[in-house]
């Protein structure tokens, strides 16, 4: 197996704090959620496998028994996730009631939408108290109901990032808004990633402000496991077809979840079945298939690996049986399956706790999708001390027509991993440094740091920093900054404030500056290597170690917290490819007018005649560099015209 270039390698304490239960049967995260059980609108942000479904059960039962709520409706994005909310014995672990749901009220079963909606309406009119349905069923039912029909009801939305404030793109977002504004319903929203991956907010600001947030981050979760002690996240770059390179990162000794690229992506060969066949050939020789649909492949060293193919959808009944086997058997039996190959499945809500390696081919445009895929391997399981996520990414070729697109794809994939580094790293609280004051454990004092001036800023810092960093890293300009193409102070003092103004237009100058400083400080410290010498801790900033007790906002502002994207590129690709990447990034900043191009074209031709080559965009001669930029402009204009004429 070729080792991927890991951007992240984090070790965890495995102190069991996130898996141990108290006298009520609650884990740490569930206790935090239950502490806010009286909130009418509750937003729970917690990673996969942290116990969000059971946390909802605790809250919902309290609302049914003690808060005047008569019914609970739980909406999930897809039917398979509905099983997470099946009847569960809670009394035997110390809680005051069991979670019970009648089979007739589980609408996450095969069948048409009209029948599900009729069952939904009957539930509202009857005496039953708990119902589970899909997001789609809730949307269709709401079309036939006034918002007041949800009075005295708890509506819980699982995987809340599917909601959008955009009425045109998300009817579910409008449903949530109507329920909140037209009834006295309580709402619990749950998500492992509040960031949607686009510029559209999840909720309208006036609705979002009503929610009480509870955040349980990835570090809290993984540091408190019993078995899993380390996680690596990295990249492996390839040229040509991925099916000829995947053997470089596939390790048959690891329980592996392989996601092949969408047939619409540039990485796809457009023949998904043949891609799977090539992967199967890599694994071993086919020896047969079980009734469950699991294939047996004998490896070159004589072992037999059990492989599940979720890509082939030619026989829907067979795939349904295979999914049933994976959900019922593979989730509990370590020997049930060794490799799962998927395309659009086995992401959100998929439970395979023994998975050790998520091998994903191609860039994923949604940060939420990346987080969900990584969440498939960050489950705690006996005999699993380490997990790995590897993104197999195509290198751009200098003679390819879509160099800029390929480079942007690389940068998006790497910056997604930079975000995961921020999410997975230990958390610190930051405060202004006061003379003679010793900060509490877990708190770092920073000279010149501005304290949050309002509760609004304080809440953003406490609960939304990762979401805000996701927004920053999605910005095209900041991706170029991450690749070393922008001065650190310009990135920190110009670009980030611009993004903050767009995200939080209601913040005044003092609020925005305090938030900016906390974003930069938190990002720089989490991205920096921390080293202990005696009783002192040092963090690597601007290629030198700085005493954590002597942090200064002026020094931190001189550090690009995400420049490690360039470091990953420079280590992972050859010099020729790196030049292609850097040139493509530089070209995106070119500003040339048509008038200048026409005026300078004779000089461009003269340069080529005299020098016998085209001008270089890396030239230190300003005149030659400008001619190169004009050449790029002309090539783009020609390509655009060719597309129009095609």
pLDDT at 1: 46
| Segment 61-72 mean pLDDT | 98
**Cβ atoms within 10 Å, residue 529:** 9
| Segment 64-89 mean pLDDT | 92
Over the stretch 464-495, which tens digit does the pLDDT of each residue have?
Answer: 888 788 788 777 766 666 555 556 787 788 88
Q: Provide, rounded to the nearest whole percent, the portion of the chain with pLDDT above 70.
A: 86
CA–CA distance, 28 with 34 (Å, rounded to integer): 10
| Residue 195 reports pLDDT greater than 70 | no
8 A C-beta contact, residue 466 and residue 218: no
Q: Which two tokens stand for residue 277?
A: 């066949």
CA–CA distance, 628 with 504 (Å, rounded to integer): 39
pLDDT at 31: 96
Give 555-624 as a 3 state SS string.
HHCCCCCCCHHHHHHHHHCCHHHHHHHHHHHHHCCCCCCHHHHHHHHHHHHHHHHHHCCCCCCCCCCHHH
DSSP class per residue in 226-272: SS--EEEEEEEEESS-GGGTGGGT--TTS-EEEEPPPTTSTT--S-H
CA–CA distance, 634 with 601 (Å, rounded to integer): 9
Residues 6+ away with beta carbon under 8 Å from 492: 516, 520, 557, 559, 560
| Residue 555 reports pLDDT greater than 70 | yes
* Helix boundaries (H) for 74-134: 113-125
pLDDT at 171: 78
pLDDT at 203: 65
Q: Which two tokens stand for residue 102?
A: 């009648």
| Segment 201-214 mean pLDDT | 76
**Cβ atoms within 10 Å, residue 477:** 18
Parallel, antiparallel or unpaired: strands 304-309 and 339-342: parallel
| Residue 339 reports pLDDT greater than 90 | yes
CA distances 584 to 403, 588, 613, Å, are: 7, 7, 19
Q: Which long-range contacts (CB under 8 A, 24 or more apart) does 89-98 make?
A: 90/25, 90/57, 90/58, 90/61, 93/21, 93/24, 93/25, 94/22, 94/23, 94/24, 94/25, 95/24, 95/25, 95/26, 95/58, 95/61, 96/61, 96/65, 97/61, 97/65
Q: Which residue has the tokens 């009729």?
A: 118
Over the stretch 408-432, which tens digit does the pLDDT of each residue have?
Answer: 677 777 777 777 777 777 778 889 9
Closest to 131 measured CA to CA, from 49, 60, 52: 60
pLDDT at 198: 46
| Residue 572 reports pLDDT greater than 90 | no
pLDDT at 169: 47
pLDDT at 128: 96
pLDDT at 102: 95
Rounded to the nearest 5 degrees, what angle is found at the Cα of 293, between the Cα atoms of 290 and 298?
A: 60
Name the least confident of 252-266, 377-391, 433-447, 582-596: 582-596
Closest to 186 measured CA to CA, from 36, 30, 24: 36
pLDDT at 168: 47
Residue environment code for 7-29, b if the CB has 16+ CB neighbours within 10 A, otherwise e = bbebebebeeebbeeeeebbbbb
CA distances 594 to 67, 605, 614, 615, Å, are: 68, 16, 20, 19
CA–CA distance, 15 with 229 (Å, rounded to integer): 10
| Residue 500 reports pLDDT greater than 70 | yes
Closest to 419 measured CA to CA, from 447, 444, 389: 389
Over the stretch 256-302, which tens digit does the pLDDT of each residue have?
Answer: 999 999 988 888 999 999 999 999 999 999 999 999 999 999 999 99
More confident residue, 330 or 410: 330
Closest to 434 measured CA to CA, from 425, 446, 424, 418: 446
Provide the Cα torsion 505, 507, 513, 517; round to 10°.
-80
8 A C-beta contact, residue 120 and residue 62: no
8 A C-beta contact, residue 509 and residue 497: no
Rounded to the nearest 5 degrees, what angle is found at the Cα of 443, between the Cα atoms of 438 and 445?
A: 60
8 A C-beta contact, residue 635 and residue 601: no
DSSP class per residue in 152-216: TEEEEESSGGG--S-TTT-HHHHHHHHHHHHS--EEEEEES----SSSS-SS-HHHHTT-EEEE-
| Residue 175 reports pLDDT greater than 50 | yes
More confident residue, 241 or 234: 241
| Residue 94 reports pLDDT greater than 80 | yes
Q: Which two tokens stand for residue 260?
A: 């092949």
Residue environment code for 126-139, b if the CB has 16+ CB neighbours within 10 A, otherwise e = eebbbbbbbbbbbb
| Segment 399-405 mean pLDDT | 62
- Positive or negative, the CA dihedral 343, 348, 354, 360 is positive
| Residue 165 reports pLDDT greater than 50 | no
More confident residue, 527 or 601: 601
Residues 6+ away with beta carbon under 8 Å from 374: 233, 358, 389, 420
Q: What are phi and psi of 497, to 5 degrees?
A: -60, -35
| Residue 445 reports pLDDT greater than 80 | yes
Task: For the chain, give the mean pLDDT.
Answer: 85
pLDDT at 103: 92
DSSP for residue 425: S
| Segment 617-645 mean pLDDT | 80
| Segment 13-34 mean pLDDT | 92
CA–CA distance, 243 with 262 (Å, rounded to integer): 14
* Residues recorded for the chain: 646
CA distances 32 to 16, 164, 403, 440, Å, are: 16, 26, 48, 22
């Amino acid at each position: 197996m070729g080792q991927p270039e890991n951007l992240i390698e984090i070790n965890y304490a495995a102190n069991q704090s996130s898996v141990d239960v108290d006298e009520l049967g609650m884990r740490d995260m569930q206790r935090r959620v239950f502490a806010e059980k009286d909130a009418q609108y509750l937003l729970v942000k917690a990673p996969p496998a942290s116990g969000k479904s059971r946390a909802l059960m605790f809250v919902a039962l309290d609302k049914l028994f003690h808060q005047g709520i008569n019914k609970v409706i739980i909406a999930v994005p897809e039917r398979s996730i509905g099983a997470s909310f099946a009847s569960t014995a809670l009394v035997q672990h110390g809680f005051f009631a069991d979670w019970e749901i009648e089979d007739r009220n589980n609408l996450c079963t095969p069948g048409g939408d009209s029948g599900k909606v009729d069952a939904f309406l009957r539930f509202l009119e009857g005496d039953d108290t708990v119902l589970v349905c899909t997001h789609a069923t809730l949307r269709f039912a709401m079309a036939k109901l006034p918002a007041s029909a949800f009075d005295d009801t708890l509506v819980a939305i699982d995987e809340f990032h599917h909601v959008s404030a955009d009425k045109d793109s998300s009817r579910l977002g409008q449903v949530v808004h109507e329920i909140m504004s037209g009834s006295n319903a309580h709402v619990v929203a749950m998500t492992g990633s509040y960031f949607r991956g686009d510029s559209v907010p999840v909720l309208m600001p006036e609705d979002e402000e009503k929610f009480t947030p509870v955040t349980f981050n990835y570090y809290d979760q993984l540091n408190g496991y019993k078995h899993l002690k380390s996680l690596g996240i990295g990249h492996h770059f390839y040229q040509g077809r991925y099916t000829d390179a995947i053997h470089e990162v596939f390790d048959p000794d690891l329980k592996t979840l392989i996601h092949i690229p969408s047939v619409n992506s540039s990485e796809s060969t457009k023949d998904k079945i043949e891609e799977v066949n090539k992967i199967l050939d890599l694994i071993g020789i086919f020896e047969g298939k079980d009734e469950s649909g699991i294939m047996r492949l004998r490896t070159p060293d004589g072992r037999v690996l059990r492989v599940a193919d979720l890509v082939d959808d030619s026989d829907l009944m067979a795939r349904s049986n295979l999914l049933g086997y994976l959900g019922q058997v593979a989730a509990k039996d370590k020997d049930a399956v060794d490799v799962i190959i998927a395309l659009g499945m086995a992401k959100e809500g998929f439970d395979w706790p023994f998975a050790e390696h998520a091998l994903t081919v191609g860039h994923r445009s949604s940060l939420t999708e990346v987080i969900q895929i990584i969440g498939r391997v960050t489950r705690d399981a006996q005999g699993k001390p380490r997990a790995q996520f590897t993104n197999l990414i195509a290198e751009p070729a200098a003679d390819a027509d879509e160099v800029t697109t390929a480079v942007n794809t690389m940068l998006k994939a790497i910056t997604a991993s930079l975000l995961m580094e921020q999410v997975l790293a230990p958390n610190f609280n930051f405060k202004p440094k006061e003379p003679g004051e010793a900060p509490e454990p877990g708190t770092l004092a920073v000279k010149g740091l501005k304290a949050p001036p309002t509760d609004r800023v304080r809440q953003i810092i406490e609960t939304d920093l990762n979401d805000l960093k996701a927004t920053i890293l999605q910005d095209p300009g900041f991706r170029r900054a991450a690749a070393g193409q922008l001065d650190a102070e310009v990135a920190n003092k110009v670009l980030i404030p611009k993004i903050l103004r767009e995200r939080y237009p209601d913040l005044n100058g003092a609020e925005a500056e305090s938030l900016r400083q906390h974003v930069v400080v938190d990002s720089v410290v989490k991205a920096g290597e921390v080293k202990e010498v005696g009783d002192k801790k040092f963090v690597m900033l601007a290629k030198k170690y700085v005493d954590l007790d002597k942090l200064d906002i002026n020094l931190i502002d001189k550090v690009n917290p995400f420049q490690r994207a360039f470091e990953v590129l420079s280590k992972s690709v050859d010099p020729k490819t790196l030049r292609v990447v850097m040139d493509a990034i530089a070209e995106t900043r070119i500003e040339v007018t048509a008038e200048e191009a026409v005026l300078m074209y004779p000089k461009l031709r003269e340069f080529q005649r005299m020098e016998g080559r085209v001008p270089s965009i890396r030239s230190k001669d300003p005149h030659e560099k400008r001619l190169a930029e004009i050449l790029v402009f002309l090539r783009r204009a020609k390509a655009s015209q060719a597309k129009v004429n095609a």
